[in-house]
Structure 1
Amino acid sequence: MKQHYDIVIIGGGMVGASLACALLPMSDALDLNIAVIESVALPTHDVEEYQPSYDARSTALAYGSRSIYEAMGVWTRLKAHVSPISDIHVSDKGHFGVTRLNAKKEGVSALGYVVENQWLGHVLLDHLQQAASPRIDFICPASVTAVESRADSMGVTVEYQGEHTELSCELVVMADGGRSPLRASMGISYSETTYDQHAIVVNVSTDQPHNGVAYERFTDSGPMALLPLEDKGGSPRSALVWTVPNDLIDEVLGLDDQAFIARFHERFGYRAGNVIHVGQRFSYPLKLTVADEQVRRGLVVLGNAAHALHPIAGQGYNLALRGVASLAETLIHARKQQQNLGDLTRLQAFYEQQRLDQVRTIGFSDQTMKLFSNHNPLLAVGRNVGLQLLDICPTAKTLFARSAMGLDMPAPDLK
């Protein structure tokens, strides 16, 4: 552990580790010293021996996120355990509207990918460890108890191996999640909108292959997403994200497996086949949160600590990853120009770029959820006409698909 770093990343999860991976290729050339502080120990098993877990939580990666991970040099290993999305089927229960997207018709190998969070995290951390770069130090398990702004640097107090250590740096990146205690301790407020809904997350097996098809099913009680996963033991797996009103969450979670499957089919139908097995169920309340301050001099807030949105469009992590890539690009350019990495003017320019992306992405997720949750008959007709028009208009479909895949954003320059 050094006493001074150029960048201190608080949080070694998927967002924090992705930022370290993005900066790694240029760290020697730019003399960048980076600390990653994480509350849990680094994984010790060999990623080459990784086996998918039936109940693993997963993330949908847009095609544009693949490009970002390719630029970092981790995609070749990561793709060993991802499930490509070849088709997306969007429908509205009880109504006529349907839209279908197909990868080949859009000229891409896949519309996106589904990856287990555990696998993604292990690949990122193993990539950093295998590099064995003296430029990156892992400080873990450890916790940050304070962050303060000094005259010409940032101060970070770390509790590590039973002792408190004071570090200094040019830039602190807070990537410690949506429940960030540091965010509150530093007086960073956030706006919050509750949806009065919970998401039930569970993996299921069906009696037929998923064939890479992802489903988005809107119902009168909330949307449902069924995403293709890597098979486990020869059995097809899919990740179900089921939005349930708060007043029904205890009832649905309390159902035995057969009753849960029956309720699922009543809501979703049988287009993906019959569910024959249900894994462990998880749930969490759905809220839209956005930090009011995402940059200060010497400070950037990233990932769920900066924004958390409804999972309806599967764009939360992709938005965060675009922020990671943009910040890495900003820092690389700043270093090349021998500018302080915590310079507020440059960080504000970075944030303004991200704010536009956030407004667009969060707005789309929020408005889509509200539109398809509205029981007004006229709105129901209008949204279903819109789905049908999108389905039969190739130009509109391509524009929509490119936006969903993150291909309407410039590729990051990490060199």
Structure 2
Amino acid sequence: MTIKPSQLKQTQQNQDKNAINHYDVVIIGGAMVGSVLALGLEQLTKRHNKTLDIAIIEAFAPSSDHPGFDARAIALAHGSIQALTQLDIWQHISELGTAIKHIHISDRGHFGMTELDANSFNIASMGEVIELNPVGYKLFKELQKSSIDIICPAKLDKIEANDEFHHVKLDSGQVLTTKLIVAADGAQSSVRMQFNLPQEEIDFKKTALIANISLQKSHKNRAWERFTNSGPLALLPMSPSNGQQRLSMVWALDPDNAELMKQATKPVFLNSLQQAFGFRAGQFIDVGERYSYPLKLTYMPRPIHHRCLFVGNAAQTLHPIAGQGFNLGLRDIMGVLDVIEHALIENLPMGNVAMTHAYLKAREKDRMNTINRVEFLVRGFSNDLWPLTLGRNLGLRLLSWLPPLKAPIASKAMGFTTDTIL
């Protein structure tokens, strides 16, 4: 079913299920990455007074059980907020954000500790924490106001590649043609599987346990990253709910222990979390529903194919240790917008080889630097060998003793790809 028949061809399609609609760009996957890309394309065409026929295909309309907008919260880096502002999207979701003004990093049981403070860098915040479920509703509402055709609920059934376009068949039997496919359909990308494209995988043999935690006292817009024997434990500030201060928790654990913590009673869980984290954030008094997923780093060596670009988790999934998943995905989106903008300005064919390879080249350095940096952090902070323990704790202490060293670290944390924010 097409939710918003914005054009005549949509009305014709409702009358004739065998009609084939023709698009310039079809985005497969309508969660946060796909929705932001679609809205960014809409804004791009308006800016250049150009026309692009765009469709977005999504399996689930936003609801409480939407898999792309579940109970999770994510941290938007400062640079990501700048990008969303540039795309005229941040204004629609900014009220849902909770500012991160301080970041506290520590190594449990050791002397390593440092802090990053927004005031030190003359900015209002290091980033913002947003809950995916309400953001999903907001983005979907904006899509419905646009000229983009939303085909939902619908799943990809088959792609038939041609020289000048793709035939895209949906599970409903509906068929589209498009000059360019953008795959934004997550780690288990059906587009990648359709094309049988390779994907590298590193299994960290850990499980991420996620939940929302209630606090006895204010979090004061502080985020914590604590490295424990089992892996990193991150707590992000959230907006209050029912008068209670809240934190979003991501806790890396051995799979068996993660399952025990997932099933544990609230008192047992909260006591275990308090022991692992300590009392820097105060006392934990409640926990919401707990979710878990295996921690793996996956990436496509070449996130392109014939008339197809891969973005976000479809191109790579990261360990949450540095909170870079969506922030890297947003930089993928900006890369797609750049190559499409170039094509519009130069009146070049959509989806040609030059476009896909320009995207590949533009994204290569940032993707691999971020992937390698995240893997280094995981290996370095999930190991109890004394040389690594000593080295990382000295590193954290040096950051505290020599504040100028914090600038490159902060620039990465805030989503900048240069070595300095000054």
- Normalised TM-score (structure 2): 0.90
- Which is bigger in relative contact order (C-alpha 8 A, separation at least 6)? 1
Note the C-alpha offset of 1:378: 1.8
Name the SS for the 2:186 alignment partner.
coil
Which of residues 28, 51, 74 is equivalent to 1:59?
A: 74
1:21 to 32, 39, 45: 39
**Over aligned residues, Cα RMSD in angstroms?**
1.8
Quote how far apart the aligned CAs of 1:345 are.
Answer: 2.2
The yes-or-no answer on 1:137 pairing with 2:149 is: yes
1:273 and 2:282 matched: yes
1:303 to 2:312 alignment: yes
- Cα distance in structure 2, aligned partners of 1:97 and 1:383: 7
Letter in 2 for 1:31: T
User: What are the equivalent positions in structure 2 for 1:279-294 lying under 5 Å apart?
Assistant: 279-294=288-303
Of the three residues 217, 232, 251, the one matched with 2:241 is 232
8 A contact 2:63–2:133 mirrored in 1:
no
Deviations 1:302-335 (A, max 9, x none): 1111100100000011000110011112101112
Q: Which moved more, 1:236-245 or 1:148-157?
A: 148-157
Counterpart of 2:394, as a letter, is V
User: Are 1:153 and 2:162 counterparts?
Assistant: no
Alignment-mate amino acid for residue 349 of structure 1: A
Q: Is 2:183 the partner of 1:165? A: no
Q: Structure 2 matches for 1:122-271, cutoff 5 A?
A: 122-131=137-146, 133=147, 136-160=148-172, 164-271=173-280
Q: Which amino acid aligns with 1:156?
A: V
Once the two structures are TM-superposed, the CA of residue 347 in structure 1 deviates from its matched residue by 1.6
Aligned counterpart, 1:98: 113
Cα distance, 1:56 vs structure 2: 2.6
Amino acid at match of 1:39: A
Instruction: Assess if the C-alpha contact under 8 Å between 1:42 and 1:140 holds in 2.
Output: no
User: Gaps spanning 5+ residues in structure 1: where?
Assistant: 45-52, 411-415
Gaps of 5+ in 2: 1-9, 11-19
Matches of 2:284 and 2:174 in 1, distance apart? 53
Native 8 Å contact 1:221 1:244 kept in 2 = yes
- Report the equivalent of 2:366: 357
- Equivalent residue, structure 2, for 1:47: none
Aligned-pair distance for 1:23? 0.8
- What amino acid is the match of 1:38? E
Is 331-340 or 244-253 further displaced after alignment? Answer: 244-253
Does the aligned pair in 1 maintain the 2:366–2:417 contact within 8 Å? no
Q: What do residues 313-365 of structure 1 show as CA deviations (whole Å, max 9, x unaligned)?
A: 00011000110011112101112211122112222121122121111111111
* Paired AA for residue 341 in structure 2: I
Verify the 8 A CA contact 2:181 2:309 in the aligned structure 1.
yes
| Aligned residues of 2:411 and 2:418 also touching (Cα < 8 A) | no
Instruction: Tell me which amino acid in the other structure corresponds to 1:85.
Output: I
Corresponding residue SS for 1:3: strand
3-state secondary structure, aligned to 1:406: coil
Structure 1: distance between partners of 2:275 and 2:229: 12
Paired position in structure 1 for 2:14: none
Q: What is the match of residue 30 of structure 1?
A: 50
Q: Is the 8 A contact 1:103 1:111 kept in 2?
A: yes
Cα distance in 2, alignment partners of residues 261 and 284 from structure 1: 20
Using the alignment, how far apart are the partners of 2:87 and 2:195 within structure 1?
31
1:3 aligns with: 21
Give the superposition deviation at 1:296: 1.7
Q: Distance in 1 between matches of 2:83 and 2:41?
A: 12
